[in-house]
Amino acid sequence: MPTPADEPPLARPRKLSVVIPVYNERTTVVEIVRRVRAAELPEGFEREIIVVDDGSTDGTREVLDQLADSTVRIVKERVNRGKGHALRTGFALATGDLVVVQDADLEYDPDDWMRLIAPVLKGKARVVYGSRFTGERRNMLYSHWLGNRFLSLVTNVLYNSTLSDMETCYKLFDRELLMTLDLRSDRFEIEPEITAKLLKRHVRIYEVPISYAGRELDEGKKITWRDGVKALWTLIKFRVVD
């Protein structure tokens, strides 16, 4: 039986599902949904927007009530269970040929979607990552830069790859392939789990440069060094287990 890496490219896709995990982003969620609605897509593409609120407590849930319409589906979790759980919920509801992850904090620009989609339309890839380290960006703190680069290095050593940005939010998938990964992580470990499972199955990940306007902790960024330790353990764990 052929592996996913051996399967033919996706037939021309016609629909993009955008999964937006949200936790306490009252000040940015309206703007990100506006940008997601307005972002350019290839001619003939439909878009589906799935916003999963992960038990927000800052008024985000009330703001989301005003955003739901025929193109925006709002899912509200009763308690905070983590980004991974929110993503898995959104993935399960997605109906598009392609699925892209979009954080709600304005660090990533939906205008970059066309860069992510282009390799798929050309038949070059079934999975595309947007790299923050090869495009224009607002410089991040050295400690965050070092952590991201270290985790990408560990990924490359363990899985014989050459990724520049394993932890990027901008991951675009062929939905059929995505749904075969049996994702289990509930929190930020979802990022290395996705990458580990793809690379272990010899799926080639295509990278394109994207812009990036990173926040820091005092601006609301939620990931910390503890999440980096968990990511490292996740990479090791999935290298040695199925």
What is the pLDDT confidence band of residue 214, given thresholds at 50, 70 and 90? confident
CATH code for the domain in which residue 167 is found: 3.90.550.10
Q: Confirm whether 6 is domain-assigned.
A: no
Please report the pLDDT score of residue 19 as a whole number: 98
Q: How far out from the chain centre does Cα 184 lie?
A: 15
Whether residue 8 is contained in a domain is answered as no
4 domain-assigned: no
71/62 Cα distance (integer angstroms): 18
List of long-range contacts for 54-57, beta carbons under 8 Å, 24+ apart: 54/21, 54/22, 54/23, 54/80, 54/81, 54/82, 54/83, 54/85, 54/86, 55/23, 55/79, 55/80, 55/81, 56/22, 56/23, 56/24, 56/25, 56/26, 56/80, 57/24
221 domain-assigned? yes
User: Given a cut of 80, is residue 1 above it in pLDDT?
Assistant: no
Instruction: Tell me what the pLDDT averaged over the chain comes to.
Output: 90
Between the CA of residue 30 and those of 50, 110, 139, 215, 241, what are the distances in Å?
14, 14, 25, 18, 41
Task: Inform me whether the pLDDT recorded for 191 exceeds 90.
Answer: yes
Domain encompassing residue 25: 13-240
Domain count, the chain: 1
Residue 227 is predicted with a pLDDT of 73
Average pLDDT estimate for 97-124:
96
d(CA 93, CA 196): 23
The C-alpha atoms of residue 126 and residue 97 are separated, in whole angstroms, by 11
pLDDT in tens, 5-57: 555 556 678 999 999 999 999 999 999 999 999 999 999 999 999 999 999 99
